[in-house]
């Protein structure tokens, strides 16, 4: 379980309009630093607004700046605990981005730039050829040169007929 879910759950249950860092830490039963990161993220997303900050001074012989001790105002309660929305960028996404930017390429070039295996790139290029996105345009020494003929303005990678997006 991440730190975000218990912090948001506590903020949903909380009957207060202003919350402090120590109150959120005790309510969510999580350590200080991760809770502070989650609350800063909620400020960036517009759920909270930082009202004041009363930094606590360090103890004798402790270096560094004073510790933050902010108070936040809850602007709008999140309706639910957010799911992870950002999908990871897959190898096919990387390959498609490289193909779009280069437009004329060889399988070896895409393989080196994306970090994928040679056969992975070759199979993906063959699928794109079958679906009409690329075609053979000649040779570069002993390597076949491919040309992007369709989808150069398409940011997301195309849906291939093998069922993957």
Contact 68, 36 (CB under 8 A): yes
Residue 162: the pLDDT is 67
Residue 69: the pLDDT is 82
| 117 Cβ contact list (under 8 Å, min separation 6) | 111
> How confident is the chain (165 residues) per 10-residue block, as mean pLDDT?
79 82 87 88 83 79 78 72 62 91 93 93 94 91 91 78 61
Residue 71: the pLDDT is 87
Residue 164: the pLDDT is 57
Contact 108, 116 (CB under 8 A): no
Residue 83: the pLDDT is 57
Residue 135: the pLDDT is 94
Residue 86: the pLDDT is 56
Q: Which residues of 29-63 are buried (b: 16+ CB within 10 A; e: fewer)?
A: ebeeeebbebbeebeeeebbeeeeeeeeeeeeeee
Residue 85: the pLDDT is 55
Alpha helices in 54-117 (DSSP H): 91-102, 107-114
The number of residues in the chain equals 165
Domains of the chain plus CATH, in order, are 4-74 (1.10.10.10), 91-148 (1.10.10.10)
Residue 107: the pLDDT is 95
Residue 96: the pLDDT is 92
Give the pairing type, strands 104-106 and 18-20.
Answer: unpaired
Residue 105: the pLDDT is 94
């Amino acid at each position: 379980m991440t730190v975000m879910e218990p912090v948001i759950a506590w903020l949903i249950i909380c009957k207060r309009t202003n919350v402090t860092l120590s109150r959120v830490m005790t309510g969510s039963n999580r350590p200080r630093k991760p809770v502070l990161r989650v609350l800063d993220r909620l400020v960036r997303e517009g759920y909270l607004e930082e009202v004041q900050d009363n930094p606590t001074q360090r103890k004798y012989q402790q270096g560094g700046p004073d510790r933050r001790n902010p108070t936040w105002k809850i602007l709008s309660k999140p309706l639910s605990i957010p799911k992870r929305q950002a999908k990871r960028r897959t190898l096919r996404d990387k390959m498609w981005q490289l193909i779009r930017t280069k437009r004329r390429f060889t399988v070896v070039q895409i393989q080196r730039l994306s970090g994928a295996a040679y056969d992975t790139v070759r199979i993906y290029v063959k699928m794109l050829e079958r679906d009409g996105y690329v075609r053979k345009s000649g040779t570069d020494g002993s390597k076949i040169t491919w040309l992007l003929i369709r989808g150069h303005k398409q940011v997301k990678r195309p849906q291939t007929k093998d069922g993957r997006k």
